[in-house]
Amino acid sequence: MITSHMNGYVQEDSGPGISLGLGQTKTHRERAVDCPDDESSLAKFPPSNTQMERIQHYQEELRKRREEDGRTKHNIDPSASLRLKKLSQNPKVGIDNPTFDGKEKASATDDTISQDPVADLEELVDALTWVQRCLSDSQSQQDVELILQLLAQEDFKSAYNIYSAVSQQMSRISPTSATTAQAEEICQEVQKMLLSSQQRDGSELRNLLTNPHLQAHDSVAMQEMELENVTQYGGETVKLVRLEKTRDTPLGATVRNDMDSVVVSRVVKGGAAERSGLLSEGDEILEINGIPIRGKNVNDVHDLLQEMHGTLTFLLIPSSQTKASTHRQTVMHVRAYFDYDPSDDPFVPCRELGLSFQKGDILHVISQDDPNWWQAYRDGDEDNQPLAGLIPGKSFQHQRETLKKTLTDRNREQQGKHWYGKKNKKQRKKNASNFSRNTDSDDILTYEEMALYHQPANRKRPIALLGPPNSGQDEVRRRLLSFEPDKFAVAVPHTTRSPRVHERNGREYHFASRSSFETDLAAGKFIESGEYEKNLYGTSTDSVRHVINSGRICVLCLHTRSLQVLRTSNLKPYIIFIAPPSQERLRTLLAAEGKSTKPEELKDVIEKAREMEQNFGHLFDVTVVNMDPDTAFHELYRLIDKLDTEPQWVPTSWLC
């Protein structure tokens, strides 16, 4: 057994490792009992010839046993479970060899197992009186006396009589299960006898027995009986569960080994197990379709269930854990701010269910029962992804990224010591200060909760264009403003310089004193600002809001450092990254504009674009590659028009 520890998360693996073709062997503590056979599966495990022969042998033996007389008993070995072993050692149980009828779906026919829910009140009082006399300590006698006083109260007797009457009445009408397992055979036998009957009563009875409504009622009743049968075995509950497993709707559960037991480890959203509500995490599987499961490795159980379809019958010991609340969880929508590949993650508990995604993808988180591993769908993949996938939980991902960053920084620090070990003290202090400042500014990004937002017709979202110099964002903005000047506008900037003769305050610039400009800057009223020839310039949120209130679309060309201020405002910007094409294509485009650039300058544009996407790509709503100015412009215009017709994902904090 290999035990891995990481920030309080423990993973226990047993058995041989499974190679993922990545040059290393990885083991996982869970196996999915079945996974859809599609391109999204990370691994395929076809059963070997020996395994197929074993499965066919099990199925043939099961068929023979059922054909004998339909009453073959499935003996439960008390030593097969620690909980059953304790029961078998208790002399007060009074059950030596409990059996369950496989054909009749473990319905309890033995009076020693099934108890009448309606007890006689007088017998109960007599039993308690006898128990009270047998008790030696006074405290226990007082407790029993309190119960006897409760049973003697008229209110309790009246309520008990009503309960008894209702129970007896309900037991006589509309039974929820067939009165006998041979009802269908008896019905067919009676119909054959009535074929030769010429009497009127016989014809009416034959018509009644062949009525489709009666057959439908019996089918539903039998189906309900076969879904789940719970039987008390001493103080232990053993149940038989029947589920339908198809290729379109897989079972959707994972199992793990707990000593010799095979236990349901996870119920996956979207599968038959989750929809039925009959399988729970922690249930111990004793048999599947009559095949003993205890002692098998989870890989064997996986191979066995891969080949099984149709009705599956599980003999289970229900989990002793307190079942969590069954209320429907609210789906949480998040945007991923990191790339994730489960095949590279040694901590994912079940590799077949790992869900890969890329930075910027929208994920629909439908279960956070396991805080370390959420269950989710990728946006747009719900129809093609029958089962939910596993993704790292936010806190778990943050924990391990923090640990990874700490180890990386420590290694860099060690390498830095060797690099400037011979420098003077002043130089070492300067380098150490720069190192600390650079690493501390990096934030660990995981997920951000999102919600759909449809912009109002009279309040258009501002469009923020970003990109490295010479990528074309300035040209795109000019074309938008000239194409429809009544629809697009720019925010009037602020400046501390004096107005020129032709300039008017509020049209070309908002002219302000240096002191008032610096006051507004300190108050966070500027999206971006800078100084040129000893004069301050900046674009304020109020200027952008003025354009929005006029019903037009404000178009901004910003630096990436302004993004955080823009996103924390209440302007709800739509951020578009204008990415440069390949280096050769970029040279052609710039040459068409009359610009002569050196190869190193072109390379610098490509490199800056890569850095911007790496550091700020999680904030971009969309990326437009400027392969051709006309094509890029029309694509940009289409995206802006789509904001009026389709809702967009925005941070939930924007809508609060």
Mean pLDDT by 10 residues, the chain (656 residues): 32 31 44 57 41 51 54 42 42 35 31 42 82 83 86 80 66 46 68 74 76 59 47 61 81 88 90 86 90 89 84 86 56 93 91 90 93 93 84 94 85 66 51 41 81 93 93 90 92 94 91 94 92 93 94 93 88 94 89 84 92 90 92 94 94 90
DSSP one-letter string for 490-555? -PPPEESSPP-TT--BTTTBEE--HHHHHHHHHTT-EEEEEEETTEEEEEEHHHHHHHHHTTPEEE
Please tell me the predicted confidence (pLDDT) of residue 596.
80
Residues 412/392, Cβ–Cβ less than 8 Å? no
Looking at the DSSP bridge assignments, the partners of residue 622 are 576
Q: Which two tokens stand for residue 624?
A: 């437009």
Query: pTM, whole model, 2 decimals?
Result: 0.62
457 Rama class: left (phi>0) / alpha (psi -120 to 50) / beta? alpha
3-state secondary structure (DSSP) of residue 429: helix
pLDDT recorded at residue 57: 55
**Residue 257: is it exposed, middle or buried by C-beta count within 10 angstroms (0-12/13-18/19+)?**
buried
Range 114-171 has CATH code 1.10.620.20: no
Q: How far does CA 612 lie from the centroid of its chain?
A: 31
Q: What is the 3-state secondary structure (H, E, C) of 367-396?
A: ECCCCCEEEEEECCCCCCCCCCEEEECHHH
Q: How many CB atoms lie within 10 A of CB 444?
A: 14
How many CB atoms are located within 10 Å of the residue 367 CB? 19
pLDDT recorded at residue 431? 47
Q: How far is CA 66 from the centre of its chain?
A: 40
Which two structure tokens, joined as six digits, stand for 415? 């390498």
Please say whether the structural domain 1-55+243-392 has been given the CATH code 2.70.98.50.
no
Range list of β-strands (E), 277-347: 284-288, 291-292, 310-317, 332-336
Residue in 498, 594, 488 with CA at minimum distance from that of residue 547: 488
Predicted confidence (pLDDT) per residue in 451-508, tens digit: 999 999 889 999 999 999 988 888 999 999 998 999 999 999 999 999 998 999 989 9
Q: What CA–CA distance (Å, rounded) separates 363 from 377? A: 6
> What pLDDT is attached to residue 424?
55
Domain residue ranges of the chain, discontinuous segments joined by +: 1-55+243-392, 114-171, 182-233, 401-448, 454-655
DSSP H or E segment with residue 139: helix 138-152
**Phi, psi values for residue 459, rounded to 5°:** -140, 90
Residue labelled with tokens 């909980």: 83
Identify the bridge partners of residue 13 per DSSP, sorted by sequence position. 2
**The CATH classification of domain 454-655, taken from the options 3.40.50.300, 2.30.42.10, 3.40.50.970, 3.30.1360.20:** 3.40.50.300
CB 297 within 8 A of CB 257: yes
pLDDT at position 229 is: 54
- Dump strand ranges (E) for 542-606: 553-557, 574-579
pLDDT at position 366 is: 93
